[in-house]
Amino acid sequence: MNCTGQNLLIMPNFLLGMEMHKLRLFLISTLTLLSLMFSVVTFAKTAGAKITLVSQVNGPSYSTDLAIRDHLQVQGYQVQILDQTQDPKQIKNTDLIILSSTVGAKNLKSGWRNLNIPLMTWESDYIDDLAMTGKKSGVDFGEVDKSRYLWLVNAPHPLSAQLEAGTLNVYQKQSQMNWGKPGLGATIIATVYGEPEKVAIWGYEKGATMDYETLAPAKRLMFFLHNDTFTLLSNDGLKLFDSSIKWLLN
């Protein structure tokens, strides 16, 4: 075969290679665009979301709840603070409820458990009333006096804020942490360092089994904060807090 014939055979292969390269570029561009569109939609869902923060208004740790409000507002959320005496059945037009541990569990009115609204809390004395744990203090829920580390055990999950699994410094100095022992339907994210039976961050998807046979009426999340520790969060601790808010709203 002469050179002209060989060239005729090579040309179709060359053209086919060019077309495949163009197709790959097109697919990469399309996937990138779809990813950006998904990010924009996700941001649009959370930006401007309405959050209700339930606090002991004018109580000894109220300034910490004000700091939480300010942080959330900087993130673009609309935040209202309601007192612990609020009737949960009267709450309207909100996307997320946060029960601060500054509340007195005995002062809360009934009805929080059954709300069909995502709810986040770090009040360990009330998570049993929310059916997020069992009823026995010191066994099913409680607090540690001095700690600053968590053991991150579920790094692939969005609640882990893209942090690596393992030991995580979440406070700027040792302080108190709340914990609980969640039900079988929980997604466990982190435990108190060195005490794996004490879960520091976990969530329930809507419909997941919480304590015994109680099903979560909407997303539920327990965070490890104590009354005055929000302002002690490290950068990684803040990342976990922010990812918790985003997960609850998405």
Sketch out the chain's domains with CATH numbers.
48-249 (3.40.50.880)
Count other C-beta atoms under 10 Å from residue 42's C-beta: 13
Q: What does pLDDT average to in each consecutive run of 10 residues of the chain (250 residues)? A: 54 59 64 49 65 97 98 98 97 97 95 97 97 97 97 97 98 98 97 97 98 95 98 98 98
pLDDT given for residue 50 in this prediction: 98
Give the CA radius of gyration of the chain. Answer: 24
Judge contact between 124 and 142, C-beta under 8 A: yes
Closest CA to 225 of 213, 214, 240: 240
Judge contact between 188 and 153, C-beta under 8 A: yes
pLDDT given for residue 10 in this prediction: 52
pLDDT given for residue 6 in this prediction: 57
Give the contacts of 246 (CB within 8 A, at least 6 positions apart): 46, 158
210 vs 205: CA distance, rounded Å: 10
pLDDT given for residue 212 in this prediction: 86
